[in-house]
């Protein structure tokens, strides 16, 4: 009798082990219930080919003296002091805007320069309005901005001079 029980138990364990992955997949195990219903997917890359090309040249020009961050939210670069009139309205204007690149000090990660890579979309009126606002907000905050026209290639020495001029 003991031997028969052990055989039945072994068969049940084998069946459970074989069916467990299927059951977990069916009930969505490993994912929070809410995540299973969301449509989000990971992007294949953070930067476009043009941005990536510029990023590589930018990093080589800086030679590790400053750190480069890409696609930074404007609201993470500037703030409004407490007591600012219409604070929420001002925040709403910056919360969804991003800049292409931010150069920061290595020691404190303090932003010292914003770089916008201007492609053909920056010629559109709505984009020009957006760029004017971002430029004004950064200027008001004391953070310089450098606009670089998007190109097939960049001359590192020319880029280095433009950066140095903005940092002085």
Convert the pLDDT of each residue in 37-74 to its tens digit.
899 999 999 999 999 999 999 999 999 999 999 999 99
User: Who contacts 105 (Cβ-Cβ below 8 Å, separation ≥6)?
Assistant: 66, 67, 112
Q: Is 97 helix (H, G, I), strand (E, B) or coil?
A: coil
Going by pLDDT thresholds of 50, 70 and 90, the confidence category of residue 20 is low
Q: How many residues does the chain have?
A: 168
pLDDT of residue 124: 74
Going by pLDDT thresholds of 50, 70 and 90, the confidence category of residue 131 is very high
Please choose, from the candidates 163, 123, 150, the residue with its C-alpha nearest in 3D space to the C-alpha of residue 53. 150
147-160 tens-digit pLDDT = 999 999 999 999 99
Return mean pLDDT, the chain.
Answer: 88
108: tokens are 């404190």
Cβ-contact 148, 54 below 8 angstroms: yes
């Amino acid at each position: 009798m003991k031997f028969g029980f052990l055989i039945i138990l072994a068969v049940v364990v084998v069946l459970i082990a074989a069916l467990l992955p299927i059951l977990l997949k069916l009930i969505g195990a490993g994912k929070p219930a809410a995540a299973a219903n969301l449509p989000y997917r990971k992007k294949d890359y953070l930067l476009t080919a043009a941005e990536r090309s510029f990023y590589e040249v930018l990093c080589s020009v800086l030679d590790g003296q400053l750190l480069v961050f890409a696609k930074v939210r404007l609201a993470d670069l500037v703030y409004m002091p407490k007591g600012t009139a219409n604070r929420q309205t001002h925040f709403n204007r910056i919360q969804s805007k991003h800049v292409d690149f931010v150069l920061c000090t290595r020691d404190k990660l303090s932003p010292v320069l914003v770089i916008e890579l201007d492609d053909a979309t920056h010629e559109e009126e709505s984009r020009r309005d957006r760029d004017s606002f971002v430029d004004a907000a950064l200027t008001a905050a004391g953070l310089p901005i450098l606009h670089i026209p998007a190109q097939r290639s960049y001359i590192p020495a020319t880029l280095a001079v433009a950066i140095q001029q903005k940092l002085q």
